[in-house]
Amino acid sequence: MFIMSFFDWNIGFQQSSPYIGLENYIDVLTDPIAKRAIVNTFVYAIVTVPLQMIFGLAVALLINGIKKFGIIFRLGYYLPVITSWVVVALLFRYIFANTGLMNYFLVDVLKIVDGPVSWLSSRWSALASAMLLGIWKGIGWNMIIFLAALQAVPRNLYEAADVDGANRFQKFFYITLPSIKGTITFALVMLAIGAFNTYTPIAILTGGNPMHQTEVVLTWMYFQTFDALNMGYSAALSMIVTAIIMIITVFLFGITRRKKVA
């Protein structure tokens, strides 16, 4: 793939694939759609990653403290995770369609707006729908990871804190958070990687349309590979994206490690 990115790659053995140096990279970097796709992906990541983690951790904390019917909650919050992306993305497309559940509630049940809102046909509301889907589906994943982590927080620390008269927030910030730091780093890195590899929600909700407004990196890469057959272009794009994720990962490891010292 690294090699492919320097060639005007053609499929098929008969055609030659001339070496074109950095031209693919220049194509990617000067392409307004690629730029927009990268911006969209960044926005998607910046919104969905922290929200998923906060909601997931909140749910894990709530469920961890619930004794009665705990199993129902643990299962209910996990259900979105186990339904396939394709199916939930289709359901969300239906929810946000012009004649879908969301408009039905807003127009006919609550009567807040006069006519149906076309959620999926403008850039930001379509991206917001996709982000909502990403967060909704991600909460259960985070809950599992954090529930496991919470089991290992030593109970005697809480007891000691109770003796000292610490309140819930103090216990959370001084005991719970420091004890699950490794898990937080893990979730942060995994979710950031996941957000940059978002494909299915966008592909099914909007297909990158209207006019490539909602394209994210992977849908654009897919389009270039399979529809435009620009193998070299998409290889260059995927090298650039891999580099971006690598920088982010190193950065995330860096900030979480600094916190450990403090």
Per CB under 8 A, contacts with other proteins among 61-80 are: 62-66, 70-80
Residues with Cβ within 8 Å of residue 239, at least 6 apart in sequence = 1, 2, 5, 25
Smaller CB distance to other proteins: residue 42 or 186?
186
Write the CA distances from 156 to 25, 51, 57, integer angstroms: 56, 30, 21
Residue 118 as a binder of other proteins (CB under 8 A): the answer is no
Residues 33-62 that bind other proteins (CB under 8 A): 59, 62
> For other proteins, which stretch binds (CB under 8 A), given 12-20, 120-128, 150-158, 206-214?
150-158
Q: Based on the shown chain and the rule CB under 8 A, indicate whether residue 241 belongs to the binding site for other proteins.
A: yes
- Of 14-22, 23-31, 87-95, 123-131, which part binds other proteins (CB under 8 A)? 87-95
Min. distance of Cβ 211 from other proteins in angstroms? 23
Task: Quote the least distance from Cβ 89 to other proteins, whole Å.
Answer: 10
135/145 Cα distance (integer angstroms) = 15
Cβ distance to other proteins smaller for residue 44 or 196: 196
Exactly one of 21, 84, 112, 211 binds other proteins (CB under 8 A); that residue is 84
Nearer to other proteins, 78 or 211 (CB): 78
Q: Report, in Å, the least distance between residue 19 CB and other proteins.
A: 20
Q: Minimum distance from CB of 257 to other proteins (Å)? A: 12
- Does 113 bind other proteins (CB under 8 A)? Our answer is no
In whole angstroms, what is the distance from residue 256 CA to residue 258 CA? 5
| 114 part of the interface to other proteins, by CB under 8 A | no
Identify the residue among 27, 171, 193, 213 touching other proteins (CB under 8 A): 193
Among residues 144, 161, 166, 177, the one that binds other proteins under rule CB under 8 A? 144
In the range 210-229, which residues lie near other proteins by CB under 8 A? 218, 221-222
How many residues interact with other proteins (rule CB under 8 A)? Answer: 78
Site residues (CB under 8 A) for other proteins, limited to 171-190: 179-183, 185-186, 189-190
Q: What interhelical angle do 181-196 and 231-261 show, nearest 10?
A: 160
Token representation of residue 103: 């408009």
Of 84 and 211, which has the nearer Cβ to other proteins?
84
Tokens of 1: 């793939």
